Amino acid sequence: MTILSNITRVHKLINPLKRTDNLLVVIRRTFASNGSFDYDLAVIGGGSGGLACAKEAVNQGAKVAVLDYVTPSPQGTKWGLGGTCVNVGCIPKKLMHQAAILGESIHEAVAYGWQVPSVESIKIDWSALTQAVQNHIKSVNWVTRVDLRDKKIDYINGLGEFKDPHTLIATMKNGSKKELTARNVVIAVGGRPHYPDIPGALEYCITSDDIFSLSHPPGKTLVVGAGYIGLECAGFLNSLGFPATVLIRSVPLRGFDQQMARVVTAEMEEKGIKLEHKCIPLSVEKLESGQLKARWLNTETQEQHEDLFDTVLIATGRYALTKQINLPAAGVNCVSPNGKIIADAEQTNVPHIYAVGDVLEGRPELTPVAIHAGRLLARRMFSGAAQQMDYDNVATTIFTPLEYGCVGVSEETAVQRHGADNIEVYHAYYKPTEFFIPQRNIRNCYLKAVALREAPQRILGLHFVGPVAGEVIQGFAAAMKCGITMEQLMNTVGIHPTVAEEFTRLNITKRSGKDPNPASCCS
């Protein structure tokens, strides 16, 4: 590492000549190949964070290997290189969500004058949908493989684990073992869905690992869990024509602003999704008909209920895949009870072993977070950079039927940190222009800004429920990074008529008690 660090310092001195970048890479790889390790960096896990770190490390002249292997789900589903986001997460979820939106748009087109024959007979072809989604995923898998090859990153399709702090063993598909050594190791194994310990869960239930490639239409579906994965799946399934019921153990969207969570679930109920509050699953039984009999308990009334479903989808959280990689052999002991790694600036208690992405304790489980953290880590390891990942004010969106986008803290967290008397909450209901033809429900189109009460009222959190919430919140996320205040927001001229401009029109506080409903679309 000392030799490589010296090379980096020399490079910074002569870089103004603009002729040294390729030379630096050649020199560094030469030293790596002649050193005591096979690689400068080995990454365990081929998801977004691990791949971003690997590719940036190569850009900095490091010799890199990526170990990645997908253990099949209990239902036998597995996938290619790219991690959760590409294969069974963000990408297929957004495509399914889009399919649901298109279905609703076809029906609404009639009100706009489109002559759509036999609207009542319109239904989704589940096989065609899943095939289209899987074709796109496979294309991304292929592009990712080609990208690693072009960047001369050694891709090892094997299940990696530690033999000692610098040695990894990869178990290949045929059972053979491959051993390699690395000066630095990045753990980026992510997580997999958790199954509740009830009869029939492993045998008969699916998870988000399975739904996007399910070989048959899901039919009437029970979703167990009301986090963002559970609500998103219930939302697009219901909109695609498959009735959905959701079991909510405690509160929906735990960790998010709870007022906004209630707005989201109110919209879901109005769309026909059945929500069973304060309920936990007891068992799932497969009948001779092929249907599944699910039983659950209402923990408030102690009443038991049961119903028949075609599919039961478990969405009760995820666990980190750290037990499979033999962390004790590496001396890594900074592991939380749920298996996640506790790391300071992505560094474990072993100085040359790092972690990025969903495997980290207390960090947002978001693809862009893992990617950015991975890149910054590689620059710190191999180019002497100092920039750390900033995990604050990271925006995200829940792709429920009416989307929820947010950045910053919830109202509850703001009050907890600063006190209710020191917080001002601006809020409003609004009327999206596109909801007037046809007359769609606008009762749950709502947004709010959580700010400090003292001038200039720095904004702590922005929350928006409505159409294209992800597109709306992204721009405001940049403003949050710059420390935007309510004064600045109110003095921003909006683009009319858009739903994003509603943030610039906020002027009513909860404290005032005034009606937050607009008088008109231009008020």
pLDDT digits (tens, 9 = 90+) for 322-365: 999 999 999 999 999 889 999 989 999 999 999 999 999 999 99
Task: Give the distance from CA 400 to its chain's centroid.
Answer: 13
Contacts for 252-257: CB closer than 8 Å, 24+ residues apart: 252/226, 252/227, 253/226, 253/227, 253/228, 253/398, 253/404, 254/227, 256/228, 256/398, 256/404, 256/406, 256/410, 257/406, 257/410, 257/411, 257/412, 257/461, 257/463
Mean pLDDT along residues 16-36? 48
Residue 16 has pLDDT above 80, yes or no: no
Which one has a higher pLDDT value, 230 or 26? Answer: 230
- Which one, of 201, 197, 194, lies nearest residue 292 by Cα? 201
Q: Which CATH architecture has domain 37-73+138-193+319-382?
A: 3-Layer(bba) Sandwich (3.50)
The mean predicted confidence, pLDDT, of the chain is 93
Share of the chain above pLDDT 90, in %: 89
Mean pLDDT along residues 216-228? 98
pLDDT digits (tens, 9 = 90+) for 476-520: 999 999 999 999 999 999 999 999 999 999 999 999 999 999 866
| pLDDT for position 121 | 83
- Which residues on neighbouring strands pair with residue 305, listed in sequence order? 296
Measured at the alpha carbon of residue 182, what is the angle toward residues 179 and 187, in degrees to the nearest 5? 95
| pLDDT for position 14 | 44
pLDDT digits (tens, 9 = 90+) for 42-64: 999 999 999 999 999 999 999 99
Q: How confident is the model at residue 118 (pLDDT cuts 50, 70, 90)?
A: confident
Share of the chain above pLDDT 70, in %: 92
Residue 307 has pLDDT above 70, yes or no: yes
| pLDDT for position 302 | 98
pTM for the model? 0.92
Sign of CA dihedral 490, 495, 501, 506: positive
Q: How confident is the model at residue 523 (pLDDT cuts 50, 70, 90)?
A: low
Residue 24 has pLDDT above 70, yes or no: no
| pLDDT for position 242 | 98
pLDDT digits (tens, 9 = 90+) for 255-282: 999 999 999 999 999 999 999 999 999 9
Q: Determine whether domain 402-505 maps to CATH 3.30.390.30.
A: yes
Helix then strand count (H, E) for the chain reads 15, 21
Measured at the alpha carbon of residue 506, what is the angle toward residues 505 and 507, in degrees to the nearest 5? 110
Residue 27 has pLDDT above 90, yes or no: no
- Which one, of 316, 325, 244, lies nearest residue 280 by Cα? 316
| pLDDT for position 403 | 98
Type and span of the H or E element at 49: helix 48-59
Q: Is 418 annotated as catalytic?
A: no
Task: Give the distance from CA 260 to its chain's centroid.
Answer: 18
Residue 123 has pLDDT above 70, yes or no: yes
Pick the range with the lowest mean pLDDT from 200-204, 293-297, 322-326, 439-443: 439-443
Structure tokens given for 301: 């009334």
Domain at 201-316, CATH from 3.40.50.1260, 3.90.79.10, 3.40.640.10, 3.50.50.60: 3.50.50.60
Q: Are 157 and 173 in contact (CB under 8 A)?
A: yes
Pick the range with the lowest mean pLDDT from 6-20, 120-134, 376-390, 394-408: 6-20
- Which one, of 56, 59, 89, 167, lies nearest residue 365 by Cα? 89
| pLDDT for position 2 | 44
The whole-angstrom separation of Cα 423 and Cα 417 is 10
Amino acid (one-letter) located at 374: G
| pLDDT for position 192 | 97
Q: How confident is the model at residue 35 (pLDDT cuts 50, 70, 90)?
A: low
